[in-house]
Structure 1
Amino acid sequence: MERQTRTEKVTEAIRGRIAGRSLQPGDRLPSIRRFAQTMKVSPATVVEAYDRLAAEGVIRSRPGSGFFVCGPAAPFTISDLEPELDRAIDPFWVSRQSLDADTQMPKPGCGWLPADWMPNTVIRKALRGLARADDAVLSDYGGTRGALNLRRFLSRQFADEGLRAGPDQILLTGSGTQAIDLICRFLLRPGDRVVVDDPCYFNFQALLKAHQVEIIGVPYTPQGPDADGFAKALNEHRPRLYITNCALHNPTGATISPQTAYQVLTAAAEHNVTIVEDDIFAAFEPEPSPRLASLEGLDRVIRIGSFSKTLSASIRCGYIAARQDWIEALIDLQVATNFGGPSPFAAELVYSALSSSGYRKHMEALHRRLAGARSEVSMNLKRFGIAPWFVPRGGFYLWCRLPSGLDSACVARAALEEKLVLAPGNVFSPSQSNGAFMRFNVSQMGEPRVFDIIARAFLACA
């Protein structure tokens, strides 16, 4: 039974790559030995999986050359709008369940704060101010770089941490996800390789699959990416990009150490790899931690971020900070795909809120509230034998190991039957090696029934 399960795991991995267009008709599959190492199975298991796929006509064998994809590629789509209990637990799974869930449905697996934890009073005050804004702010397209006052605000924030980036080196985007998408369009071509952390934010994987690139995972430690594994991946795979969170890493909550940051930057320089640093959780840190962009500058590092976690997920606005010649090229891409920058209304609203004293007071109170929630949820999870892998310095995630023998995907499916959204470990893992882990959002776990459902899900999967 175990061998059959592993074989099916390999066949589904290949089907997923074909569906996601990272493997297209005529492409050669990874060698048996290499894919066995990637999937952490025996070469015999990969041979059996390839033979099954060949028998089904999905791939074909060329003696002496290997296995190749045959037939037309499946379209890259997300088929139905309603949540599906039986769909594959992949990088889209948590996003779809969380976004489509009823507003009253508990969502410990989602990636945002509850609405009543957000600075809504600050936003309403900013909205009243914008009601008196010029007609152009309410009606016109935005400029190609985005609102100058918000770019100046970000430039000053970056200067405080030692990063020199003038307003002309900052491009406002429609969201943080759009920022990554623009960078991928600019720097990547189908078949390129990109390094990510293992585990990493699941939408990094989903977006990279859409760009038809090969994802290379590097194990993540409490000090950042495994330095030796990172150097080895760069030497062996010659990737174009490394995409990461440095501050309060998603999903682990860890923060890169100065020593690891130096080793990562040294290896990236040696192999001419560009680093995309997603700084979306920076405001949740009690004190600033090392930043790759601050240490290296913007020659090799691109800084991205947005305001969806601290201000509002409804007011969409992100940014890219990069070398100026790249910003010029990214502007053209944004014009082509979005006809201008983000909504000037959204950008002005973000600036007005961020620059207010009310927002600063809100963040101070939020730090205290999250610290209390992390402590309380940790104690409640301990009753079920769930232990944090790492105790984060801030933020709202706890990356936890489940009791021995429990599979987090099974637990997540059982919980969803009772209308509770959880985030199983393997949606974050390129290597599918985190089945014993789960990410909990402590801000979404205030209802006692959350723990009752988790207890019943454990029993169902024991």
Structure 2
Amino acid sequence: MDIATQTPETHTFIDHVMATIRARIAARSLLPGDRLPSIRGGARQFGVSNSTMVEAYDRLVADGTISSRRGSGFFVSGHTAPLSIAQIGPKLDRAIDPFWVSRQSLDARPEMLKPGCGWLPPDWMPTAAIRRALRNISRSKDTILTDYAPPLGLMALRQLLSRRMAGYGIEAGPDQIVLTDSGTQAIDLLCRFLIKPGDTVLIDDPCYFNFQALLRAHRANIIGVPFTPIGPDVDAFARLAAIHNPRLYITNSGLHNPTGTSLSPMVAHRILKTVEENDLIVIEDDIFADFETSPSPRYAALGGFDRIIHIGSFSKTLSASVRCGYIATRPDWIDGIADLKIATGFSGANLSAELVLSVLKDGTYRRHMENLHARLSRAMDVTQTRLKSLGITPVITPDAGIFLWCRLPDGIDAAIVARNALVDGVVLAPGNVFSISQSANNLMRFNVAQCADDHVFDILARAMQT
């Protein structure tokens, strides 16, 4: 096509084709050496003319993105591009991108307010107990301070975790538990162990946003299950399981993130029936268990470990800086998971495991959680009242925990509110961050422990008006 005859519309089509091919290469949907569609095939695929397709390919050849082989067609050039997780899946507005929320929260200046983050403020954590434990550990054996941990992790902590899980009706011996550096590392190891690129994984819609990000990194096909005030929609779960033949279902059990929902026994039993019928594996993330004041059903307690994997950590209740999580699973999978742990990290954080054990075994942690339950209950009541004065209403009122999943007044987009509030130094968590279907634009998650400052509500009120 002669450049002089190209219209602005033609340029737009060419740019679109080029940008789409580059995005597929960045997301590793196209790898070096992969053959691209023919001119005619590409034109049909993109809905453009043959001449537009020729021009797009010519430009990509000119900048080295693809190569042309006479008589064979066009191929992706070069080496594998660095993985760009943000390019996997639909392109999202930056204000509703889970990495945007994570980075704003993690990079926030000390004076910024973070009602959208997922952790407690420092002065809510048992820092005195942590300092005491560190002092005690510093006087212990040199091997604790210097050596690698065993493959499954510190035995004494695994024994304690086994007893704690028994309190929820979960029967897991110490040899069925692998310590990890976090709940996220636990899910990463399990994805490496159980799925391959292209496998389908079910998640709740809405759900913790990093489930989506991690699954995209593993090149999974992600399907959302609508989530209700009593757990996943059981009919939708059964229908999606039958249609998509998923390998995994990843969910929170107690105190679902972001909704704060507790699983009902009826829903749990029906989900387990579908899991059995469809040869599914459930990863049950129980990271918020200790926030509960009365335990809700656990899939691992009801269904055992044949198809259920139970994971947790202490990042939310003890310290995010002390990295310590765990996996509890069936005995015949332990060695394979431990081998992957060695292959990808060699050893766990032995010092962190010793610190967690020290705080858990002396009664300090139990007293800390009792105080935390009372403090969070008060914060939940105050935050709901303040939000309702702005026309923001909880979808449900949780029994416990740190999150309120709320609906904004009609016509207000949570992503726009989040962008506006950030200008004034407040980090919010708009609903579509958590929704694979992008159906939560009028919803927002609030961390009640991070809402004590009056400025949160003043800035939120202004952000909803602009």
TM-score, scaled to structure 1: 0.85
Tell me: CA distance 1:265–1:140, structure 2 relative to 1, closer, same or farther (3 Å).
same
Q: Using the alignment, how far apart are the partners of 2:45 and 2:463 within structure 1?
A: 31
Aligned letter for 2:217?
A
Deviation at 1:363, TM superposition (A): 0.7
Partners of 1:22 and 1:190 within 8 A in 2: no
**What are the Cα deviations for residues 192-213 of structure 1, in whole angstroms up to 9, with x where unaligned?**
0100000000000000000001
Deviation at 1:356, TM superposition (A): 2.0
Deviation at 1:324, TM superposition (A): 1.2
Deviation at 1:71, TM superposition (A): 8.1
Tell me: CA distance 1:401–1:271, structure 2 relative to 1, closer, same or farther (3 Å).
same
Tell me: CA distance 1:52–1:99, structure 2 relative to 1, closer, same or farther (3 Å).
farther
Deviation at 1:15, TM superposition (A): 9.0
Aligned letter for 1:405?
G
Percent identical among aligned pairs is 55
Q: Using the alignment, how far apart are the partners of 1:353 and 1:15 within structure 2?
A: 53
1:259 maps to: 266
**Residues 200-349 of structure 1 mapped to structure 2, 5 A cutoff:** 200-340=207-347, 342-349=348-355
Partners of 2:95 and 2:101 within 8 A in 1: no
Partners of 2:116 and 2:427 within 8 A in 1: yes
**What are the Cα deviations for residues 173-220 of structure 1, in whole angstroms up to 9, with x where unaligned?**
111110000000000100001000000000000000000011000000
Is the partner of 1:92 in helix, strand or coil?
helix
Runs of at least 5 residues in structure 1 that lack an aligned partner in the other structure: 1-10, 29-47, 59-68, 80-85
Tell me: CA distance 1:129–1:15, structure 2 relative to 1, closer, same or farther (3 Å).
farther
Partners of 2:27 and 2:84 within 8 A in 1: no
User: Which of residues 76, 89, 96 in structure 1 aligns to 2:103?
Assistant: 96
Q: Using the alignment, how far apart are the partners of 1:155 and 1:396 within structure 2?
A: 26
Q: Using the alignment, how far apart are the partners of 2:365 and 2:22 within structure 1?
A: 43
User: Which of residues 120, 145, 157 in structure 2 aligns to 1:138?
Assistant: 145
Q: Using the alignment, how far apart are the partners of 2:105 and 2:352 within structure 1?
A: 24
User: Which of residues 414, 419, 422 in structure 1 aligns to 2:425?
Assistant: 419
**What are the Cα deviations for residues 247-271 of structure 1, in whole angstroms up to 9, with x where unaligned?**
1000000011001001110001101
Q: Which 10-residue stretch deviates more, 238-247 or 19-28?
A: 19-28
Q: Using the alignment, how far apart are the partners of 1:105 and 1:230 within structure 2?
A: 40
Deviation at 1:74, TM superposition (A): 5.6
Aligned letter for 2:252?
N
1:105 aligned onto 2:112: yes
Q: Using the alignment, how far apart are the partners of 2:232 and 2:81 within structure 1?
A: 34
2:379 maps to: 373
1:431 maps to: 437
Partners of 2:95 and 2:415 within 8 A in 1: no
Aligned letter for 1:259?
M
Deviation at 1:103, TM superposition (A): 2.0
Partners of 1:22 and 1:209 within 8 A in 2: no
**Residues 62-101 of structure 1 mapped to structure 2, 5 A cutoff:** 75-77=82-84, 87=94, 89-101=96-108
Is the partner of 1:398 in helix, strand or coil?
strand
Q: Using the alignment, how far apart are the partners of 2:183 and 2:323 within structure 1?
A: 8
Deviation at 1:52, TM superposition (A): 7.8
Deviation at 1:321, TM superposition (A): 0.2
Q: Using the alignment, how far apart are the partners of 1:20 and 1:117 within structure 2?
A: 42
Runs of at least 5 residues in structure 2 that lack an aligned partner in the other structure: 1-16, 37-43, 61-74, 87-92
Aligned letter for 1:360?
R
Deviation at 1:128, TM superposition (A): 1.6
Is the partner of 2:96 in helix, strand or coil?
coil
1:449 maps to: 455
Deviation at 1:122, TM superposition (A): 1.3
Deviation at 1:434, TM superposition (A): 0.6
2:126 maps to: 119
Tell me: CA distance 1:20–1:253, structure 2 relative to 1, closer, same or farther (3 Å).
farther
Partners of 1:22 and 1:191 within 8 A in 2: no
Partners of 1:20 and 1:210 within 8 A in 2: no
Q: Using the alignment, how far apart are the partners of 1:51 and 1:404 within structure 2?
A: 37
1:360 maps to: 366
Aligned letter for 1:442?
V
Aligned letter for 1:428?
F
Partners of 1:20 and 1:209 within 8 A in 2: no
Is the partner of 1:212 in helix, strand or coil?
coil
Aligned letter for 1:429?
S
Tell me: CA distance 1:393–1:22, structure 2 relative to 1, closer, same or farther (3 Å).
farther
Aligned letter for 1:188?
I
User: Which of residues 157, 160, 169 in structure 2 aligns to 1:153?
Assistant: 160
Q: Using the alignment, how far apart are the partners of 2:318 and 2:349 within structure 1?
A: 16
Is the partner of 2:170 in helix, strand or coil?
coil
1:170 aligned onto 2:169: no
* Alignment RMSD: 2.8
Aligned letter for 1:104?
E
Aligned letter for 1:345?
L
Q: Using the alignment, how far apart are the partners of 1:324 and 1:17 within structure 2?
A: 42
**What are the Cα deviations for residues 341-374 of structure 1, in whole angstroms up to 9, with x where unaligned?**
x221110100111122222111101001000001
1:3 maps to: none
